[in-house]
Structure 1
Amino acid sequence: MTSTEPGSLLHRIVIDPEICHGKPTIRGLRYPVESVLEYLAGGDSFEEVLAEFSDLEREDLLACLQFATQSLKMRSWQLVTA
């Protein structure tokens, strides 16, 4: 999923069938977007997640949120047209 919108961080999200069974990951680093979102939904702060996974950057976490938002928008659109 990529976006040409200014300020988009979606280029940081990679979908590769050879990495994590094709699940969306952050920069191909084997950190599934889903897992990062679970940490954030569980109450972990950005700072806590970044401290736990030192090779991640703040923009990676923002990219996960942006990816989730775009995914929901697409899914909502599909539900409306179905």
Structure 2
Amino acid sequence: MHERIEMNPQTMGGKPVIRGTRVPVEMILRKLGAGMTAPDIIADHPHLTIDDIRAAQSFAADYIAEDEVVHG
């Protein structure tokens, strides 16, 4: 489903990363949350594409959608 995302215990401790890189999905999301734009992130990581950034966002949205929310 998420062709651009991989999780491998040998890479970044199994955290989801952009396939073929060591760039964690979490880092991309944190940069977006801090106000960076996709072009800013690509400037920092020239091997990434806009599709990689969109894949990170989509992966996170799907992960959250599957997570059980506990109200307390």
Instruction: Report the RMSD for the aligned CA atoms in angstroms.
Output: 1.1
Conserved 8 A contact 1:23-1:32: yes
Q: Find 1:59's aligned residue among 48, 51, 65.
A: 51
Matched, 1:74 2:41: no
Q: CA deviation at 1:79?
A: 3.4
Q: CA deviation at 1:61?
A: 0.1
Q: Find 1:24's aligned residue among 13, 16, 21.
A: 16
Q: Find 1:12's aligned residue among 4, 13, 34.
A: 4
Identity across matched positions, percent? 33
Counterpart-to-counterpart distance in 2, 1:36 and 1:30? 12
Conserved 8 A contact 1:19-1:28: no
Counterpart-to-counterpart distance in 1, 2:54 and 2:13? 23
User: 4+ residue runs of structure 1 moved beyond 2 angstroms?
Assistant: none
Conserved 8 A contact 1:25-1:33: yes
Conserved 8 A contact 1:13-1:27: yes
In structure 1, list runs of 5 or more residues that go unmatched.
4-9
In structure 2, list runs of 5 or more residues that go unmatched.
none
Count of matched residue pairs: 70
TM-score under structure 1 length normalisation? 0.81
Relative to total residues, which structure has the larger helix share, 1 or 2?
1
